[in-house]
Structure 1
Amino acid sequence: MTTLKAKLQDDLTAAIRARDELRSSTLRLTLSAITNEEVAGKSARELSDDEVQKVIAREAKKRREAAEAFAQGGRADQAQRERVEGEVLAEYLPKQLSDEELGAIVAEAVKEAAAGGAEGPRAMGAVMKIVNPKVAGRAEGGRVAAEVKRLLAG
């Protein structure tokens, strides 16, 4: 078993013992998503820590989107619960890059791509290829793409 998955299970046990309903249900759902990912496909396999992290990131993103939807629908109590669940999951993810840090990484990648002959909006793919490995797991794809577009347009 991967160390991240084991940590999730240990924390789930602790949350159940502490009768922390919100934390235990969030961890339970996340572990279910990990198990579903492990058994998906032709043969069952164990996920690596990186793959487990991607599942957690996907679950956290679902919580953020659900919180926005509930807030727009006037269900503030449910939106707050989704936000708190997202915060629980964020504890298991690497620290997210600030806007300044992301901007600096993207600016460097734009310079690197320009040195390779890619310029303007057509350079988007080349820049993303350079940026993605550097920010893996520390910034959401949409945020990265928006910053790349902003710098390429400007």
Structure 2
Amino acid sequence: MSLLEQLTSDMKEAMKAKDKVTLGVVRMVKASVSNEQIKLGHDLTADEELAVLSREMKQRVEEMESYKDADRADLAEEIQGQIDVLKRYMPAQMSEDEVVAIVKETIAEVGASSKADLGKVMGALMPKVKGKADGKLVNTTVQSLLG
């Protein structure tokens, strides 16, 4: 089942259950996926769908952080609900230990030895963890292991 079909099905379920948070998020993601399809002119591949979902997730995480910084716990809680809905469509996230292991493996593969090799390591590493690990966590892990 494609992501669009899954979203359509979940949208119907959310309407029946009168779940406004899920319905709102599913509609927004469905619109983003449809817009991306129109922009690219073809059905999306799994990687392209993941890119759309990652973009939606990143927007909400940044929005939640800004609400927390502004001491707006009520709005941050609302955004957290949206993030929880989005997580249903994202691949399982890697644990910190898994990230450390794959970073060490990639550092060995590219032969990196100092922070000067950060770009080389990140270039080889990001395709492996795309959508499965937080970019900030990956970056800080690489920096700490190269430092």
> Which residue pairs with 1:108 in the alignment?
105
Task: Name whichever of 87-96 and 47-56 sits farther off.
Answer: 47-56
Shift of 1:152: 0.6
- 1:135 aligned to 2:146? no
- Asked whether the equivalents of residues 70 and 78 of structure 1 are also in contact (C-alpha less than 8 Å), the reply is yes
> Which residue pairs with 2:72 in the alignment?
75
Which amino acid is the alignment partner of residue 128 of structure 1? M
Partner of 2:27, secondary structure, is: helix
1:17-56 to 2 correspondences below 5 Å: 17-40=16-39, 44-56=41-53
Which whole-Å CA distance do the structure 2 matches of 1:105 and 1:77 have between them?
Answer: 37
Question: Percent identity at matched positions?
Answer: 33
Shift of 1:33: 1.1
> Which residue pairs with 2:120 in the alignment?
126
Q: TM-score, normalised by structure 1?
A: 0.88
Q: TM-score, normalised by structure 2?
A: 0.92
Which whole-Å CA distance do the structure 1 matches of 2:114 and 2:142 have between them?
Answer: 10
Which whole-Å CA distance do the structure 1 matches of 2:123 and 2:69 have between them?
Answer: 35
- 1:149 aligned to 2:146? no
Structure 2, unmatched stretches of 5+, are none
Shift of 1:92: 0.6
Which whole-Å CA distance do the structure 2 matches of 1:133 and 1:65 have between them?
Answer: 22
Partner of 1:40, secondary structure, is: helix
Shift of 1:128: 1.7
Q: Give structure 1 regions of 4+ aligned residues with deviation exceeding 4 angstroms.
A: none
Which amino acid is the alignment partner of residue 109 of structure 2? E
- Asked whether the equivalents of residues 5 and 52 of structure 1 are also in contact (C-alpha less than 8 Å), the reply is no
Which amino acid is the alignment partner of residue 105 of structure 1? I
Shift of 1:87: 0.9
Which whole-Å CA distance do the structure 2 matches of 1:134 and 1:39 have between them?
Answer: 27
Which whole-Å CA distance do the structure 2 matches of 1:139 and 1:5 have between them?
Answer: 23
Which whole-Å CA distance do the structure 1 matches of 2:47 and 2:123 have between them?
Answer: 19
